[in-house]
Structure 1
């Protein structure tokens, strides 16, 4: 559970790349050199009502009201770039904090009481780019399922708070649609090359620090990830985006080779204020929450998921309908949240976003999260209402 709590803090950090272009403060810009900063703060009131069946088959209910962080952690980032003839160098660093203080563990340790901001650095990299493309060096988010989470209409919202992951009373962020439609592309040390855009296509390929399957496992090669994006516009009002991504890693444990792999995909069409998105993934040997960073066993463990969403924007108002589902077949193995065998996690949501001023957004949201893990007797039905505000600069 500790690993999942750490994961939840930085769940949506990569999504800020989408905001940075529109919400930055230029501090210095002269002779091809620039320095800027960007930031985000969000806070939500949420009320969750959970009906749960434990692994012992005992039914229980739990209701909790919180004032806490939503899907995006609050954060601040710094950006530097310098144009040197036909080469441009850049750097980005950012750190992220949780506003979700909790006394959830007050009976276990006094150290868990009070403020626990959990400052975490998840981006610290340099880029070198030119007409030939771009090379990224350092720590950034993975490529596998990156576009799936970037395309989630609930990025500025709340999403699911399954009790299976300790999210209702936890001191970190909510999960959006992680584990109910896509896996999280955990940040890794990497060297990634991105091509220039060619006829709407852009390819990224990277080698990344592998994930240890166990303390004594051998990884002879790094893990490999790739992403192919396609963007096109038919007129000023209609656009299409499509993508496919993949990941592969091999490990050896006690002279037995294990292969982990996954593929992600999706499409988004926008027209007349309407946005329609469908995405999905399929994986072997990977967890359904954090992919390679939640390896739970050999490639007999399979996970599949999909997310379908519709959004409509009119002036300063955006309305969202969403449904996501992930299904895991553990083949008798036990995963990190104690689920044995098969399990299905799903989330149904309705959200309303109101832009009060540029950089200030109000959010009203309802999510119903369901979990059915019949082999381990566990089940959950979670209704969460939330209202909050997101401020960016």
Structure 2
């Protein structure tokens, strides 16, 4: 059985990193495996009791919401065809946060819908998937299966460390090439559907697609597991007389030994929205941020301390986010989470505090 398409799917990588397990472990339920053809299904379900106090708005609110990762169901297939393995994934992401606004009209979005061709040359992916820029920054976030900072609206999703350490690698139409594993070194390069960086509408002119790439390296030195990465993006858009060149670089390093893990990551960009990269930037102003985290795993338990910042000239915004989290594995498919988050954002020019929110989140996660 060839599991390349499973190992490289965005959700599987994300969950594997968050759980500190190999990507193939508990990744899917295999429904069919015969004559070189496989089909499997994976799922992710979660809900949190959330209590948030916002000192600036002078509000205290209690909700039942999902965590940073939405509830998801995914379908995977692979078929061996001579020297090639054809694969594919479709995943459907749904919110449970719309109870007050649309009780029977739950929103569903498709963040992954792609095919893969694997061979001795590596892999080619065609379709829609998460971008490469900031990809490892978010997928290796220690609180990925937690809750994180407040989202843009009371009923919206939480943001984890988005806008407080890294931007979101928004799923986009793409053609991506990945090299084989070269002694722990992997390289990925992609052309993606351009973001509308000038006007934020489809009226932008793009003479070339968006270019993104990522280099990752994994090694084990004297029982110390190391993961390092560098990723980036480049795009130029025009609208009438206005032209915006957007570019960014993300990077990070994670080290693990004897239950302890330390990681540091960051990004720097210009002409690029540091929250959602598909949104219009309009200018070529700068943004940068970093995230530092430490964790300790003992038995079925993991304790996490996380701190991140973003300084965005382009949005006139400064943020900081501190999280203390506790994760307990009841078994390999059932996890309990307790998290306390302290988030603050300020107007960069005036220094005025816009949001100062403390959030307690208690939740459960079920995977298959």
Q: TM-score, normalised by structure 2?
A: 0.91
Instruction: Verify the 8 A CA contact 2:344 2:353 in the aligned structure 1.
Output: no
Where do residues 115-154 of structure 1 align in structure 2 (5 Å cutoff)? 115-154=104-143
Q: Which residue of 2 aligns with 1:369?
A: 343
Q: Report what 1:21 is aligned to.
A: 24
Q: What does residue 95 of structure 2 align with? A: 98
TM-score by length of 1: 0.86
Consecutive unaligned residues of structure 2, counting only runs of 5 or more, are 1-8, 16-22
- The question of whether the paired residues in 1 share the 8 Å contact of 2:129 and 2:173 is answered with yes
Query: For 1:311-390, what aligned pairs fall within 5 Å after superposition?
Result: 311-330=295-314, 335=315, 342-375=316-349, 377-390=352-365
1:238-276 Cα shifts (integer Å, max 9, x gaps): 210000000000011223322000000000001000111
| Among 240, 259, 277, the residue aligned to 2:245 | 259
State the alpha-carbon separation in 2 of the partners of residues 348 and 147 from structure 1: 20
For 1:18 and 1:252, locate their aligned partners in 2 and report how far apart those are by CA, in whole Å.
35
SS at match of 1:199: coil
Q: Would you say 1:176 and 2:152 are equivalent positions? A: no
Match of 1:47 in 2: 51
Structure 2 SS opposite 1:294: coil
Query: Residue 313 of structure 2 contacts residue 348 of structure 2 at CA under 8 Å; is this kept in 1?
Result: no
Summarize deviations over 1:305-364 as a string: whole Å, max 9, x none.
00000000011000000001101113xxxx5xxxxxx32111001000000011000000
Distance 2:73 2:82 in 1: 30
1:89 aligns with 2:86: yes
What is residue 282 of structure 2 aligned with on the other side?
Answer: 297
State the Cα distance separating 1:374 from its structure 2 match.
4.8
Q: Aligned-pair distance for 1:234?
A: 2.1
Q: Determine the C-alpha separation between the residues in 2 that align with 1:254 and 1:378.
A: 36
1:110-139 C-alpha deviation (Å, 9 max, x unpaired):
xx4423421111111000011111000000
Residue 367 of structure 1, CA deviation: 0.4
Aligned residues: 348
